[in-house]
C-alpha cells in the first residue's frame, strides 16, 4: 500500500501567501495522519513545488533583471524554505520543479501519446487572453471571433483588459471526454469535494465542452517546454503544470516511461480558483492516457482579511510571516499550523483577523492544551510519581490498552473514574487521511477531549487525596486518577495531535516521560497585541 497527497505547484513569480501555506500544511497533516494510520514513511508522499514556466514568469524575471532560469531558482528556493519552516515532514515531501529535465521528458511523451491517439489538431485561433491567468478566456471567445475592433473585456480576476491574441496553435480534443467526465464524477469514481464544488463542475459540464489550446507560439512564449510536434511552439503552461503530478509521483520514471509508482493520488488538494483545471482538464488527459484518476479532489475556499479580499492596494495582505510574528515562543510555527487549518471547516472560505488568531492562541493553546499538560504533570510530580513505573498505577501499561478497568481490584468510586476516562473510542479521534473534509471536525473533537480531561480533574479533585492528612485509600484513588488522565493525554497526543503539531506532541511526550512540566506556549504579552 502507499499513500499520496498532493498540493498544487505554485507560480514561481512571488512569495508564498497564506492560501498556499494553508493547502500545503493541510497536505502535510494528511501525510502524517496516513503514517499514524499505519502507512510507512517510505510509502507516503506529499507532492508540491513550483510552476516555473510561462509568460508571467518570463515577465517577472525581466522585471527583476534576471534570466528566467536564475529567477525561478531563487523564488523556488524561498518557497521551499518557507514551507519547511512550518514543519513539513522532510521524509515524505517531494518538492517539484517543472524545469526538471525528467518533467520535460514526461510532458513531451504525453503530448506525443495524445497525438498518436488522434487527440491533437492545429487551428488558427483568435481569443481574449489574460497574461495574469495565462489562459484564454473562453467566455469572451464569441466576441473575439466575431469582431476585431470590439473593446477589450477585463479579466474578472485581475481587473485589467484582456489581450486579443491571434495565433495558429495546437488543440486537445477535450470535447470528446464530456460524457466520460460526467459519468466518473456522478458515480463518484472521481470524488470531488465538497459537494458544492462537485455540483459546480457538473453544471459546467452540462454545457458543451470546448477543445482547449495546448501550445503557444514560441515567438509569444519562449520560456516553456519545447512542443514535440512543432519546433515553433512551446507547451502551454497549464498542461506543463498539471502533468507535474505524474512526473513527481513516479520515482521509477525512466526512458521506458514506466508507470508512476505513487499515482493515483489518494487526495488532491487545491484552491477553488483552479477547480476546472483539476476537475475537468487533468482527468480528461488521464482518461486519454488510460491512467487512473485521483480518489478525491478537494477544493478549499479563499481567505479574506477582516471581510475583505487581500490585495496589495488595500495593504491588507497577510503573509505566512505576519502570522508567525503575531505569536510568541519556540512553538509559534506549530501554533500557526493548528490555528490556520482550524480557521474554518475544510472546503469553506475563511476570514482571518490577527486578533482572532491571537485570541484563539490564548484560549486553545495557552489556556487549553498548554495549561492542561502543565497541570497534569505538576500533579504527577506532587504525587511523587516515579518516571519508570507511574503508568502501572493507571492500569494501562501499553499504548494500545484501552480497557483500563477489567482486572483491577480497586474500590467502586475509582473504578467509575477510570471508566469515565476510558469512555471514548481512541480510533475515532485518529485523523482519517482519506477524509480531508472532516479534518476540522476531528480536531474539534480532539480539543473537546482535552477539555473533558480538565473537567474530570476538576470534578474528582485528586489534589485533595495528595494532602498529608488524606487516608491511604483516598491517596491511592488520587494517584490512580492522575495516572489515568496522564495516560489519556499521552495517547491523544500520540494518535492525533502529532499529525498537526508534531514538535509540540514530541515535547509533551518527553515532558510526560520525564515528568518535567515546562510551559509550552508563552502568554501573549500586552505589547505584542
- Burial pattern 112-138, b for ≥16 Cβ within 10 A else e, equals ebbeeeebbeeeebebbbbbebbbbbe
Of residues 156 and 257, the one with the C-beta less far from Zn ion:
156
Nearest to 481 by CA among 413, 427, 402, 425: 413
How far apart are alpha carbons 91 and 429 in whole angstroms? Answer: 24
Which residue of 5, 46, 93, 130 would you call a contact of Zn ion, by CB under 5 A?
A: 130
Q: What string of DSSP letters covers 242-285? A: HTHHHHHH-SS--TT-PPPSSPSPSEEEEEGGGHHIIIIIHHHH
| 276 within 8 A of 266, measured Cβ to Cβ | no
**127 pairs with which residues across the strands?**
165
158 binds Zn ion (CB under 5 A): yes
CA 9 distance to own-chain centroid: 12
- Least gap, CB of 63 to Zn ion (angstroms): 18
In angstroms, give the least distance from the CB of 154 to Zn ion: 9
In whole angstroms, the minimum distance from the beta carbon of 56 to Zn ion comes to 10
SS3 409: coil
- DSSP character string of 419-476: HHHH-S-HHHHS--TT-GGGHHHHHHHHHHHHHHHHHHHHHH-HHHHTSTTS-HHHHH
Q: Is 162 in the site for Zn ion (CB under 5 A)?
A: no
160 scored as a contact of Zn ion (CB under 5 A): no
Q: How far is the CB of 493 from Zn ion (least distance, A)?
A: 45
Binding residues with Zn ion: total (CB under 5 A):
6
Q: What are phi and psi of 173, to 5 degrees?
A: -75, 70
Cα radius of gyration rounded to whole Å, the chain: 27
- Whichever of 158 and 419 has its CB closer to Zn ion, that residue is 158
Stretch that binds Zn ion, among 46-54, 130-138, 140-148, 411-419 (CB under 5 A): 130-138
Considering only the stretches 89-97, 152-160, 209-217, 461-469, report the one whose residues sit in contact with Zn ion under the rule CB under 5 A. Answer: 152-160
Q: Is residue 324 close enough to count as binding Zn ion by CB under 5 A?
A: no
157 binds Zn ion (CB under 5 A): yes
* Closer to Zn ion by Cβ: residue 158 or 210: 158
For Zn ion, which stretch binds (CB under 5 A), given 114-122, 154-162, 307-315, 502-510?
A: 154-162
Q: Which of residues 441-500 bind Zn ion (CB under 5 A)?
A: none
* 138 touches Zn ion by CB under 5 A: no
Q: Which is nearer to Zn ion, 165 or 505 (CB)?
A: 165
Q: Position of cell 514535440?
A: 228
CB of 228 to Zn ion, least distance (A): 28
Under the binding rule (CB under 5 A), the answer on residue 237 touching Zn ion is no
Q: Which stretch binds Zn ion (CB under 5 A): 22-30, 147-155, 239-247, 321-329?
A: 147-155
Phi, psi dihedrals of residue 450, rounded to the nearest 5°: -60, -45
Determine, following the binding rule CB under 5 A, whether residue 305 of this chain makes contact with Zn ion: no
Q: Minimum CB separation from Zn ion for residue 306, in Å?
A: 25
Give me the least distance between CB of 153 and Zn ion, in Å please: 11
131 interacts with Zn ion by CB under 5 A: no
Distances (CA, A) of 55 to 221, 224, 226, 245: 6, 9, 14, 21
Q: Which residues contact 401 (CB under 8 A, 6 or more apart)?
A: none
Contacting residue, 73, 133, 202, 287, with Zn ion by CB under 5 A: 133
Residue from 9, 72, 155, 350 in contact with Zn ion (CB under 5 A): 155
Binding site for Zn ion (CB under 5 A): 130, 132-133, 155, 157-158
Amino acid at each position: 500500500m502507499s499513500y499520496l497527497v498532493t498540493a498544487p505547484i505554485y507560480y514561481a513569480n512571488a512569495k508564498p501567501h497564506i492560501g498556499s501555506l494553508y493547502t500545503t500544511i493541510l497536505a502535510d497533516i494528511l501525510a502524517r495522519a496516513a503514517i499514524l494510520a499505519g502507512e510507512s514513511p517510505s510509502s507516503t508522499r506529499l507532492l508540491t513545488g513550483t510552476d516555473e514556466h510561462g509568460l508571467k514568469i518570463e515577465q517577472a524575471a525581466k522585471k527583476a533583471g534576471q534570466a528566467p532560469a536564475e529567477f525561478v531558482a531563487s523564488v523556488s528556493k524561498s518557497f521551499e524554505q518557507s514551507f519547511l519552516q512550518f514543519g513539513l515532514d522532510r521524509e515524505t515531501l517531494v518538492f517539484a520543479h517543472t524545469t526538471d529535465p525528467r518533467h520535460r521528458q514526461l510532458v513531451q511523451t504525453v503530448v506525443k501519446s495524445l497525438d498518436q491517439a488522434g487527440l491533437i489538431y492545429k487551428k488558427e485561433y483568435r481569443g481574449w487572453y489574460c497574461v495574469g491567468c495565462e489562459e484564454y478566456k473562453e467566455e469572451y471567445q464569441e466576441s473575439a471571433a466575431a469582431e476585431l475592433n470590439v473593446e477589450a473585456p477585463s479579466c474578472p480576476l485581475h481587473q485589467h483588459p484582456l489581450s486579443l491574441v491571434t495565433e495558429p496553435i495546437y488543440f486537445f480534443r477535450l470535447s470528446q471526454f464530456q460524457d466520460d467526465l460526467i459519468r466518473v464524477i456522478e458515480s463518484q469514481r472521481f470524488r470531488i469535494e465538497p459537494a458544492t464544488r462537485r455540483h459546480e463542475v457538473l453544471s459546467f459540464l452540462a454545457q458543451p465542452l470546448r477543445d482547449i489550446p495546448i501550445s503557444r507560439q514560441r515567438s509569444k512564449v519562449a520560456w516553456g517546454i519545447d512542443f514535440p510536434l512543432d519546433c515553433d511552439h512551446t507547451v502551454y503552461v497549464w498542461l506543463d503544470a498539471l502533468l507535474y503530478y505524474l512526473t513527481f509521483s513516479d520515482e521509477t520514471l525512466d526512458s521506458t516511461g514506466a508507470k508512476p509508482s505513487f499515482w493515483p493520488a489518494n487526495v488532491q488538494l487545491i484552491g477553488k480558483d483552479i477547480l476546472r483545471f483539476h476537475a475537468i482538464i487533468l482527468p480528461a488527459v488521464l482518461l486519454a492516457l488510460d491512467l487512473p484518476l485521483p480518489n478525491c479532489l478537494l477544493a478549499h475556499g479563499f481567505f479574506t482579511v477582516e471581510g475583505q479580499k487581500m490585495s496589495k492596494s488595500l495593504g491588507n495582505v497577510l503573509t505566512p510571516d505576519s502570522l508567525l510574528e503575531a505569536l510568541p515562543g519556540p512553538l509559534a510555527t506549530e501554533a500557526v499550523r493548528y490555528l490556520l487549518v482550524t480557521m474554518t471547516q475544510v472546503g469553506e472560505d475563511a476570514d482571518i483577523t490577527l486578533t482572532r488568531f491571537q485570541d484563539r492562541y490564548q484560549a486553545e493553546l495557552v489556556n487549553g492544551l498548554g495549561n492542561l499538560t502543565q497541570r497534569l504533570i505538576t500533579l504527577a510530580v506532587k504525587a511523587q510519581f516515579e518516571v519508570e513505573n507511574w503508568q502501572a498505577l493507571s492500569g494501562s501499561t501499553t499504548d494500545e490498552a484501552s480497557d483500563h478497568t477489567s482486572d483491577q481490584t480497586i474500590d467502586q468510586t475509582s473504578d467509575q473514574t477510570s471508566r469515565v476516562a476510558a469512555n471514548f473510542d481512541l480510533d475515532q479521534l485518529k485523523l482519517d487521511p482519506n477524509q480531508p473534509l472532516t479534518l476540522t471536525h476531528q480536531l474539534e473533537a480532539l480539543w473537546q477531549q482535552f477539555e473533558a480531561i480538565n473537567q474530570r480533574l476538576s470534578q474528582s479533585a485528586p489534589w485533595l487525596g495528595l494532602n498529608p492528612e488524606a487516608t491511604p485509600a483516598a491517596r491511592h484513588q488520587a494517584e490512580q486518577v492522575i495516572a489515568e488522565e496522564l495516560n489519556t493525554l499521552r495517547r491523544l497526543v500520540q494518535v492525533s495531535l502529532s499529525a498537526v503539531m508534531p514538535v509540540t506532541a514530541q515535547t509533551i511526550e518527553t515532558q510526560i516521560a520525564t515528568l518535567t512540566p515546562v510551559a509550552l506556549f508563552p502568554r501573549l504579552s500586552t505589547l505584542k497585541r
